């Protein structure tokens, strides 16, 4: 029997899954033995990977917030700050789940902050970050389900909804920027100046 490249790839993937399941489940004296500890460790690994990505998002969005605030773009500065706060809440939820599973919380960002100061580039990067997180969390929810960890699965599914909402907000601001151009940013600066002149708070 000959295998083409696609069939061979599918075979390797199936073999990988089989080996993974074989490590988690085994038979002894005709009884199914489940390696609960290994299944739990996989969930802890995925939850810590999510924390690393969320920490990267917090740092990156706060960096964007500082620069938008410095340039007088209050609407965008507020959006990045609000999203960073929500990502911090995600970290708390993920950490609580890890501790419940008797794991160690690894507070390490997955990437360094990228020094992006152009508003359009900021929004493009934010849209991609949220889309990437949503894809990862969908996959990790399925992995947790395969490991019989329905609570972690539900947590990841909830996070998917939040990341998709964040991505939609950034996408909307991107559309506004494309539609109105520099006027969109100029209006935010003008609004900042008006608020400062009347003594109203800005960001």
Q: What pLDDT digit, counting tens, does each position of 4-44 carry?
A: 555 655 655 655 555 655 555 544 554 444 455 777 899 99
Tell me, what DSSP letter sits at residue 150? H
Helix axes 150-180, 36-70, angle to 10 degrees: 20
Q: What is the mean pLDDT of residues 40-49?
A: 95
Q: What is the mean pLDDT of residues 80-103?
A: 97
Asked if 188 and 73 touch (Cβ cutoff 8 Å), the reply is yes
φ and ψ at 31, to 5 degrees? -115, 140
Distance CA 59, CA 157 (A): 23
| pLDDT score, position 154 | 97
- Whole-angstrom CA distances from 132 to 59, 67, 73, 145 are 17, 24, 26, 20
- Cα 97 from chain centre: 16
Tell me the pLDDT of the chain averaged across its residues.
Answer: 84
Q: What is the largest CA-CA distance in the chain?
A: 81
| pLDDT score, position 149 | 94
What element of type H or E holds 45?
helix 36-70
- Give the chain's length: 203
| pLDDT score, position 197 | 39
CATH topology classification for 37-198: Ferritin (1.20.1260)
Share of the chain above pLDDT 90, in %: 64
| pLDDT score, position 173 | 92
Q: What is the mean pLDDT of residues 172-198?
A: 73
The pTM assigned to this predicted structure is: 0.77
| pLDDT score, position 114 | 97
| pLDDT score, position 110 | 96
At CA 140, angle to CA 138 and CA 145, rounded to 5? 100
| 156, pLDDT greater than 60 | yes
């Amino acid at each position: 029997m000959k295998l083409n490249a696609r069939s061979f790839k599918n075979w390797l993937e199936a073999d990988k899954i089989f080996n993974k399941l074989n490590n988690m489940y085994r038979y002894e004296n005709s009884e199914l033995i489940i390696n609960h500890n290994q299944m739990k460790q996989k969930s802890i690994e995925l939850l810590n990977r999510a924390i690393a990505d969320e920490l990267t998002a917090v740092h990156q969005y706060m960096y964007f917030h500082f620069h938008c605030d410095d340039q007088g773009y209050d609407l965008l500065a507020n959006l990045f700050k609000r999203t960073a706060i929500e990502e911090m809440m995600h970290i708390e939820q993920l950490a609580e789940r890890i501790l419940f599973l008797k794991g160690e919380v690894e507070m390490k960002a997955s990437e360094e902050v990228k020094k992006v100061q152009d508003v359009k580039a900021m929004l493009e990067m934010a849209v991609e970050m949220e889309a990437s997180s949503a894809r990862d969390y969908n996959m990790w929810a399925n992995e947790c389900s395969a490991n019989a960890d329905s609570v972690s699965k539900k947590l990841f599914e909830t996070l998917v909804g939040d990341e998709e909402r964040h991505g939609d907000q950034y996408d909307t601001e991107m559309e506004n920027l494309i539609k109105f151009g520099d006027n969109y940013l100029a209006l935010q600066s003008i609004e900042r100046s008006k608020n400062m002149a009347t003594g109203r708070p800005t960001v």
